[in-house]
Structure 1
Amino acid sequence: MPARVHALLVARPDGRTPAAHHLRRTVAALAAQTRPIDFLTIVLCGPEPGVVDVAKESQATLVVEAPASTSFADAVKLAIPSKDADAVWVLAQDTTPDPDALARLVGRLELSPSVAFAAPKLVRSDDRAEIVSLGTTMTRYGRAVGIADDELDQGQHDGREDALGADVRGILVRADAWSRLGRLDRGLRGADEGLDLGVRARLGGARVSLAPSAVVSVSGDGVAGLPVPVTAAHRRRRAFASRTAQLHRRLVYAQAWAVPLHWLSILPLALARTVAHLFRKQPGRIMPEWAAAVVALIQVLAVARARRGIRQTKAAPWSQIAPLRMTATQLRSRLGDAPVEPTARVRSELRFFAGGGAWLVLAALVLSVIAFTPLLAWSVIGGGGMQPLRGTVGLLWTDAAYGLRAFGLETVGPADPFAIIVAVIGSAWPLEPSRALIVLWLFALPLAALGGWFAATRVTERSSLRLVGGTVWALAPTFLIALTQGRPAAVIAHLLLPWLFYAGSVAHRSWSGAGGASLLLAAVIACAPSLAPALTVIWVAMLVVIVATRAGRGSARLVWLVVPSAVMAAPLVWHAIRSGNVWALLADPGVTWAGPQVAADAVGRGLLAAGIPTADVAGWATILPPETTWWVPLLIAPLALLALIAPLTQRWASGVALLVVAAVGIATAFAAVGVSLAFDESLAVPLWPGPGLSLAWLGVLGGALVTLDAGLAPKVRAARGIAVAVVSLGVLVLAVPSLTAVARDTAEISGGPASTLPAYVAALGAGDGNVGTFVLTPQNEGGVSARVVWGGSETLGAQSTIVATRTTATPQDDEVARLAAGLVGDSADDVVATLAADGVSFVLLEQAAEPVSGAARSFGLTAEAAIDQRDGLEPVGETARGILWRINGEVSARAAAAPSAQHMSGLISAAQIGVTLIALLLAVPTSTSRLEARRIPRVVGPHWEEGR
């Protein structure tokens, strides 16, 4: 029977927790015990005046001072129990026992000499109705599981007496067992020390007894045990210590032959668990996971010491532990998610079918088929900024990787991120990738309606207003004009923007939203680099609001938003910095084409303010005399007026935010129309303002929906239907010219050829990207444009802004110019042999752009005669693309990229694939994330108090 008890009390002030207050309360509780302690040793880990004063004022037998970095296990080892003590009571500064706690613990030891230590019931000091710990166990693989952790104390566990282990705080250990077992294992890093002590006691032939009637309240400041996870730092510390302890126990408890296998599996397990953490939306556990793995790998001596201690004290087989472990079924029951109570359900039904969303998408599909009927017979879309795609999926992804570009003799550099988007789209139709663009064009209207409808669900719960959102977004003038002009990057950006709003507006509260939004943001910037500054402004504003209103909660998710975009753009950014042409990063991707758009003057910017990016007033000038189209911009006035009213409604914060989005979008469009960054042969091409207008349209539409949803007083709510009808009718009238452009033959798109090169070249290069063609194009202003095209055609995914935006000639450009001059002049150099050595097989003399000037026609005739006289060139004949010659003799294979470039390509691809996989794992919803989402309103904004 334990006649004398020695209490070991460890205190560690850290400057943040009220250590002196906790220690004073614990010392007072020890003095008030109905069964007094006989000895008290206080270990002070780190000096702090208040704590030292409390220790000196106590009735401690001994006060031991230790460095602040001393762990709890080491601190307890410094406190040597008295030789006269029969039991050791392990305490920390934040463990406050009830007056009868020691008496009940001693009583539990007295019941049986086989009990090595007794454990109290730990409760929260600020809420004694919640159990912190009452016994612990572990799974087959060493995961520690609390038997009653975080449960409300209703006496449901008061009959429990036996356990595998317990929380180390407050346990009363027999002195002989304390000495025999070697005290606490330092290799556990402060986690599961009581569990490990219990396992060793069981193997030594003793057992652990629970004393639920002995109550000890704890504050959880981390001196002993794990800290309460109230901060991100505490959560990381808990995750690190718990995982380290699990790996350590696995190595300590395993049979000798299995220890090396467990040790070798640590890093692969860390990788697998990293994927699991991402899938479970717990990225904060990744760094602790790898830190724990590294620690477990290097603390070999601690493992050897612990295994030696078990061998020395073991008196019972491991099979005695098995019945006390938790099975997988019990673990699922213990940790399973509780069902959501109907009264706790906050999120309303989506009502996509019941609310008419499905009918809207179907109507948009019918409208698209009517408006673009000829596309059903096309195999390739041509005209405008359209070009065919590569013939194979492999070549599509080759164009999306760092390495040799499809233009130039040996141009090596990064691919545009837009090439990845093109590769993804083309891969959806692997047999004929170009048909994927046909499908995209036919489904563009219904996809836009779908995206607009879902974006509207973040603004309103009203089904009628969601239908307005989908309709107005699908009929946006900039979107329809991009469809008829053949601007694929702008079309895709418009399709993605509502989904970016849908996911990004909740990114701060959900890792699923953050993961999806990060991929969407990367895709939008890849399609519309000119939006990068505007989206950066919005992202910074979101961060500021989150820090100001939510004390930074969710800021890590917002930071993640830009990571995929940064990784995707990093190679292009580095190339732009090295070449000194940083502005080129904002250039439009895809085919460089100077299509119809507004001028950078007052009239043009006035049209931009009305959401119209073309000087023909959204196509109405092709139907009516231009002087009679003054009324067309007024069609969006009702929509704009409703958006301006949004800040005056009760949801003013949402209205202001959406107007900010609209403002940065308009500013982007205004800036873009006056800037030229790329060149189409000898013509400087200004940026397309469409993406900026799409962003502005999103903000204006959202603001109008806010006004219609919350800005009408009860007496005038009947006006909502009138306003909806006026807005919808105005947008529909504005869309009439674009929807009929294909039928009226005023659209730029057409049924394009399968290749931009002659069919003879296209047949040879369809599956071979190394077939080279030297293309000469006479310029109407005089001179000739020369370029080298690799493969069977110029393609959409092979376009490169590093080529289109060059403002200074490279040595390769000089070489191409020299070869062009040699072909069309009377040079004595063997130009043909040089071309063959470079891997070029064909020479194509194109016609000048319509209307052909006299200078261009004359130059073409002269060039044709000069090329015909070149030895080594065999005329193939006149084709629809121009006059073609084939090089006779042996043509060398195209030189491969240097090993350094290939190595760089591998690194870049690995990084881009890795960050994409991480974002996808974060974005994929789980049952837990879906359950949590049900508790949060779908509509975003302070009107719904979504942060509560």
Structure 2
Amino acid sequence: MAATTPTPVRPSTLAVVVSAGVSVYLPRTLAALAAQTHLPDVVVVVDVGAPGRDLGTGVPVHDAVAGAGLDEVTRVRVVRAPEATTFGEAVRQGLTEYRALVERAAERARKRERATGSLSGSWSRVTGELTPVTTGEFRAVGVLGRAPDAGAQPDWLWLLHDDSAPAPAALDQLLHAAESGRSVAILGAKQRDWTEPDRLLEVGVRATRTGRRVSDIEPGEIDQGQHDHREDVLAVGTAGALVRASVWEELGGTDPALGPFGDGLELSRRARLAGHRVVVVPTAVVHHARASLLGLRAGPTTHTQDPAAAVPDARRSFLARRRAQLYNAFVAAPAALVPLLTVGFVLLAPLRALWRVATKEIGLAGAEIAAVLAVLAQPGAVWRARRRTGSVRRIPARALVPLQATGTEIRRAKRDVRRTAAAARRAAQAPSELEIAERAALARRRRTAATLTALALTAVALAAFAPLVLAGPLTGGALLPADATLAELWRAARSGWVAAGDGHPGPADPFLQALAVPMLLLAPFGASTNVLVTALVVLAVPLAGIGAWFAAGAATRSVWLRAWAAVVWALAPSLLLATGQGRLGALLAHLLLPWVALGVARAVAVDRRDVVLSGMVGARRTARARTLEALRGPTGPEGAHDLEATSAPGGTVATRRTRAGSIAAGAGAALALAGAAAGAPVLLPASVVAVLLLTLAVPRRRRVLLVVPVPALVLLGPLVVAALGDLEAGSWRLLLADPGVAYASDAGPSWLAALGWPVEPPALPGLDGEGAATLVARWGMVLGGATLALGAVLALLRGTGRARAVRGGWLLALVGLVTALLAARTDVAVGTGLDGASQVVRGWAGAGTSLVVLGLLIAVVSAGDGLRDALGTRSFGVGQIVVAVLTPLLVLGPLVTAAGWLVSVHQAGDDAPTELLAVHGRDTAPVPAVAAEMQSSGSRSRVLALTPADGTVRAEIWRDAGPQLTETSAAESARELVGAGPDAAEAEVAEVVAAMAVGAADDVGAVLGRHAVGIVLVRPEPSYVPAGTEPTTAERAALVEQLDATAGLERVTENESGAIWRVSREAGQPGTADSVARARVVDADGAWVQDVDAGQIRIGTELPSGPEGRTLVLAERADTGWRAWYDGRPLRATTDGWRQAFELPAHTGTLTVGHEAPGGTAWAWAQGVVIGLTVLLALPIRRRRTEVE
């Protein structure tokens, strides 16, 4: 009889499946367990379902087990662990509950034994027992006071997630590999995709010491055995991992602070350090849904029955994954490096967050910082984890180096993934030769049209403004010279102190901050702000046309419509008048508004794009229609909707509206709106109203639209606060005022604003009176606006999907009309007009009329898009007649306006400023060299400029070469209007000037010295008397004669800058000044001690010792915003009449003085954060998202 070979005994296995109730994945996982070629001895299903978590489908776990047939092939125990928060904790609690279940069964068995006299291993279903508890389980657990039998305990624990279904031979292959040696403690399976069984996910884990994993499996990679050579690895995932039971007990399981990510890496690393092997078994396959990683774990109120119905997005789990990585880094790092690691992660987190913002992953920006804070908030957990690792370590950490990845490998793997993905995209999107040719033809036509339009507009601009190119610093109208460098411009923009005359508290015009942005391009070449101002004035027309060209491209792809829109916008009266009158703020707003419109259109995904339909050369219209119908159908490619065919030479081009909005475009629109509102603050409330109205019209992404005004609100925040400061006194007028000099204009009839005219069209030179020729020539300039408005009215009749854009344009036009009428009828400041006389100035209606023109253009261009093709499909009728009549008028309108404007500019000549061209070059230096030297010296002395006119003498205190754009402030201009009379400083200057004019001044030097005036200047007559007006020669001569006889003034000379006197400075002499410096030190009796070197606003210098009770006195108005420090200690503020002063100690020290507006620091931070984040969002950077980031 032949001897039989005994079958080898396989190691016993206890499988642990963790699930929150019966999830949508659990039935498949249980069925896969039942189909194993080698079954586990016991399956423990741990139900962690609890309130606040995914409660599953609602099916009882027992029913799911029975439905899978698992209880028919092996022993199944169902236990609950609702307190478990991680996978490892669920396994530990599940095993504990399993032992308790067996003990309860044994207790019942003992009671039955007493009743029947025998102990049997068969009892039917008790709670959690789907099959009878066996005596082997009794021995393994150790019940009824008996010690556990080591021989009956399971050798291995097989850990399974509810979404990890093992292939039939998975456990058999794992056990076969486990038999290779006792050193093998943890075995991992090859992981494939849940829904695509051939798609490879993971073959072991390779990571750096800091826990960064190497993405060595390309997205979508098919498993062809290419990674089956792997065996010893650094770590394996817990899904499908086979862990030796004794090692599990030795190590204490996974880290209780980790899960569902990073726990496998930490456990494997700890096992390695304890001297065990961690291997991957490529022949054992587990199909993993990765529900936690892809954010498919639903909450109790968002449960989804079908996992395919949920959208996988690995970004949902980024915070947990990043926290797990950082936690593993702290646990694995040498003790000496933990402090450096802490500092490094804290410093790196904001930078990573900013990069996430730049790549439009806004949701991950907060997660970057939150992950670091979460780990730093758990020092105890990190310390316990490090102690656990140290207690089991048998080999040094350097032994793991061969298994760990390096930073270079991480970068190389990411680069390879990016290259592969890019190659796949190029292959998928590679156009045919026909498409390439058609795209080239499209680009060529558009480049040609755009270039010709820009050149034509440039010619128009040069025809009008060429003399200004080399005229030097520009002035006139609302414009002042701007001699400031970028640094000086920025200081003026950020300061809460307006450095004009004796200084004023108040917010600087936000327009200065807007000017600083383009100055960044000129500053490296040493250019002053004057160069930028000249460039803006001369190139405003072509720049406006370029912006309108691109903006019109969002509504139409027709080159003719885009060129027409560019010309209309560039020759809009609001821009031409703003340019000629030096209204830089309104000019900047007009230039930026098209970019706001373009950004908004792209942000809410209503802009049009070209789609070249391949293979359509020579096709008939019916064929094109069929193709479009197919593309719109359910089988068409994503994004092929809203296609409209248009004829093109050689082929067919379809235009479509995009469906995916652009965050970067929305941020760009926000920045452009901030710049426009800085130039014309009246646009701030108008834009808020327009945005609220447009949210009702746009079909999607309304939240992006609501964020667009935020940067403008923050940038203009200090101005808004000032405008709301005293509403009863009329402080709200600030929002309707413009930056620069308050310059008057007549708005004319209200209906003109509806046609885009902020003022009444000026009379053409040479045509006076009310004759027919005068009326025709004058009102013919309105033709462009009239035809545009008529076209916008007819656009309301346009159907199809363009009606929404037309209505949106009309909403914008109505908001602009209300804005223009409100501004033009509100007194905002006391300023000057064309004749130079002082008068009340009303707001400029140009910003509102720019909105009107923009809205009407949107309506007309949107309606005109595709109109030719639409009319071509219809019988000849009224529509064709209206278009045939209106089209020439729309084309001629802006040309007539431009012609009238050019004629007016040229025929006016250089003799006198006009409404159309009040800007001119600064002919001579406003201050003589001696004065300029004193102004730039450490004393920062000033010039008192006197202008005789109409029997009075107007006095101005200049800190620089005449009045400067950086010294203007709408808040200060409005101060006199709202009822504030002259303060002590102004009254003192007015009094001494009046006395000087009549020769009655006896203490001129002392008074002027208190204002830091070192030079008195009587301006030359041509600098203030407009050509064609009555000269003031006699008045000026009388004033010069009186000043020559005034004690305390020393005549210097008279040159092109004017008649010049120096303020006498002789200490102790009557009528002379002790000091003409901006800052000086006086003793306790008020006697001069020394001058102090100062800047325009700030002071930072060393002071020698001096007498007790000395005081620092500034030639600045007293204000609570002034601060001073001496050797870092704050000084007590006081006043010397109207002047700011500080009490000084007697010893030598470092003096620092500055001004800080109330809330200035908070506003600076808010503006920096909001504008900075918006700039990052606007950068054209977007990461192409892969499955796992």
TM-score (norm 2): 0.68
> Within the alignment, does 1:925 sit opposite 2:1174 as a pair?
no
Tell me the CA shift for residue 673 of structure 1. 1.4
Structure 1 distance, partners of 2:359, 2:382, is: 31
Q: 1:77 aligns with which of 81, 84, 92?
A: 92
Tell me the CA shift for residue 121 of structure 1. 5.1
The alpha-carbon distance between structure 1 residues 372 and 408, as it changes in their structure 2 partners (threshold 3 A), is closer
**Alignment match, 1:752:** 922
Q: 1:88 aligns with which of 157, 167, 189?
A: 157
> Within the alignment, does 1:338 sit opposite 2:422 as a pair?
yes
* 1:191 maps to amino acid: F
Structure 1 distance, partners of 2:971, 2:536, is: 27
**Alignment match, 2:814:** 663
Tell me the CA shift for residue 269 of structure 1. 1.4
Tell me the CA shift for residue 802 of structure 1. 1.8
Tell me the CA shift for residue 513 of structure 1. 1.9
Report SS of the residue matched to 1:898.
strand
**Alignment match, 1:840:** 1013
Deviates more, 1:349-358 or 1:855-864: 855-864
**Alignment match, 1:6:** 14
Residues 594-631 of structure 1 deviation map (CA, whole Å, 9 limit, x = unaligned): 344423xxxx2222111122212586996851466444
Residues 866-912 of structure 1 deviation map (CA, whole Å, 9 limit, x = unaligned): 87776434455777787665432222324384258349656654554
Deviates more, 1:559-568 or 1:694-703: 559-568
> Within the alignment, does 1:641 sit opposite 2:790 as a pair?
yes
Structure 2 distance, partners of 1:640, 1:345, is: 44
> Within the alignment, does 1:54 sit opposite 2:54 as a pair?
no
Structure 1 distance, partners of 2:794, 2:206, is: 61
**Alignment match, 1:447:** 543
Tell me the CA shift for residue 206 of structure 1. 0.7
Larger Rg: 2
Structure 2 distance, partners of 1:79, 1:617, is: 90
Tell me the CA shift for residue 391 of structure 1. 4.2
Deviates more, 1:640-649 or 1:650-659: 640-649
**Alignment match, 1:772:** 942
Tell me the CA shift for residue 640 of structure 1. 3.1
Q: Identity of counterpart residues, as a percentage?
A: 28
Q: 1:610 aligns with which of 724, 740, 755?
A: 755
**Alignment match, 1:491:** 587
Report SS of the residue matched to 1:437.
helix
Structure 2 distance, partners of 1:545, 1:715, is: 27
Mapping of 1:364-375 within 5 angstroms? 364-375=457-468
Tell me the CA shift for residue 380 of structure 1. 1.8
Structure 2 distance, partners of 1:852, 1:621, is: 16
Tell me the CA shift for residue 527 of structure 1. 0.6
Q: 2:262 aligns with which of 179, 187, 192?
A: 192
Structure 2 distance, partners of 1:366, 1:906, is: 46
Mapping of 1:810-825 within 5 angstroms? 813-825=983-995
> Within the alignment, does 1:734 sit opposite 2:989 as a pair?
no
* 1:703 maps to amino acid: A
The alpha-carbon distance between structure 1 residues 360 and 223, as it changes in their structure 2 partners (threshold 3 A), is closer
* 1:538 maps to amino acid: A
Structure 1 distance, partners of 2:26, 2:230, is: 30
* 2:1048 maps to amino acid: G
Q: 1:42 aligns with which of 34, 46, 66?
A: 46
Structure 2 distance, partners of 1:345, 1:498, is: 33
Structure 2 distance, partners of 1:722, 1:320, is: 83
> Within the alignment, does 1:179 sit opposite 2:249 as a pair?
yes
**Alignment match, 2:965:** 796
**Alignment match, 1:573:** 720
Residues 34-77 of structure 1 deviation map (CA, whole Å, 9 limit, x = unaligned): 62550414142524887787246667635234348x33443333
The alpha-carbon distance between structure 1 residues 224 and 115, as it changes in their structure 2 partners (threshold 3 A), is farther
Report SS of the residue matched to 1:265.
helix
Unaligned runs of 5+ in 2: 1-8, 66-70, 100-139, 141-152, 299-306, 605-660, 833-837, 874-879, 1066-1074, 1080-1113, 1117-1121, 1125-1153
The alpha-carbon distance between structure 1 residues 588 and 856, as it changes in their structure 2 partners (threshold 3 A), is farther
Q: Is the 8 A contact 1:426 1:434 kept in 2?
A: no
Q: Is the 8 A contact 2:992 2:1007 kept in 1?
A: no
Structure 2 distance, partners of 1:854, 1:327, is: 81
Mapping of 1:545-560 within 5 angstroms? 549=700, 555=703, 557-558=704-705, 560=707
> Within the alignment, does 1:322 sit opposite 2:402 as a pair?
yes
The alpha-carbon distance between structure 1 residues 731 and 685, as it changes in their structure 2 partners (threshold 3 A), is same
Higher RCO (CA < 8 A, seq sep 6+): 1
Structure 1 distance, partners of 2:176, 2:889, is: 83
Q: Is the 8 A contact 1:23 1:54 kept in 2?
A: no
Tell me the CA shift for residue 495 of structure 1. 1.5
The alpha-carbon distance between structure 1 residues 504 and 327, as it changes in their structure 2 partners (threshold 3 A), is same
Structure 2 distance, partners of 1:812, 1:267, is: 54
Q: Is the 8 A contact 2:667 2:1178 kept in 1?
A: yes
Q: Is the 8 A contact 1:365 1:446 kept in 2?
A: yes
Mapping of 1:130-529 within 5 angstroms? 133-139=202-208, 142-148=211-217, 150-151=219-220, 153=222, 155=224, 159=228, 161-162=230-231, 163-188=233-258, 190-203=260-273, 204-211=275-282, 214-218=285-289, 220-221=291-292, 237-311=316-390, 312-315=392-395, 318-323=398-403, 325=405, 326-336=409-419, 337-339=421-423, 340-341=425-426, 344=429, 350-351=443-444, 354-426=447-519, 428=522, 430-508=526-604, 509-529=661-681
Deviates more, 1:836-845 or 1:656-665: 836-845
Tell me the CA shift for residue 178 of structure 1. 2.4
The alpha-carbon distance between structure 1 residues 560 and 922, as it changes in their structure 2 partners (threshold 3 A), is same
Report SS of the residue matched to 1:88.
strand
Deviates more, 1:81-90 or 1:97-106: 97-106
**Alignment match, 1:940:** none
**Alignment match, 2:628:** none
Report SS of the residue matched to 2:462.
helix
Q: Is the 8 A contact 1:771 1:791 kept in 2?
A: no
> Within the alignment, does 1:589 sit opposite 2:738 as a pair?
yes
Structure 2 distance, partners of 1:442, 1:504, is: 28
Structure 2 distance, partners of 1:199, 1:872, is: 89
The alpha-carbon distance between structure 1 residues 92 and 327, as it changes in their structure 2 partners (threshold 3 A), is closer
The alpha-carbon distance between structure 1 residues 483 and 618, as it changes in their structure 2 partners (threshold 3 A), is farther
The alpha-carbon distance between structure 1 residues 390 and 377, as it changes in their structure 2 partners (threshold 3 A), is closer
Report SS of the residue matched to 2:159.
strand
Residues 668-721 of structure 1 deviation map (CA, whole Å, 9 limit, x = unaligned): 222221122222175221111111222222222232222222233455499989
> Within the alignment, does 1:696 sit opposite 2:866 as a pair?
no
Report SS of the residue matched to 1:7.
strand
Structure with greater helix percent: 1
The alpha-carbon distance between structure 1 residues 239 and 213, as it changes in their structure 2 partners (threshold 3 A), is same
Report SS of the residue matched to 2:370.
helix
TM-score (norm 1): 0.84
Structure 1 distance, partners of 2:895, 2:402, is: 72
Unaligned runs of 5+ in 1: 14-18, 933-948
The alpha-carbon distance between structure 1 residues 121 and 545, as it changes in their structure 2 partners (threshold 3 A), is farther
Q: Is the 8 A contact 2:295 2:317 kept in 1?
A: no
Structure 2 distance, partners of 1:671, 1:684, is: 16
Structure 1 distance, partners of 2:948, 2:91, is: 88
RMSD between aligned alpha carbons? 4.3
**Alignment match, 2:691:** 539
Q: Is the 8 A contact 1:355 1:463 kept in 2?
A: no
Residues 399-427 of structure 1 deviation map (CA, whole Å, 9 limit, x = unaligned): 11123212252423332110123334556
Q: Is the 8 A contact 1:839 1:893 kept in 2?
A: yes
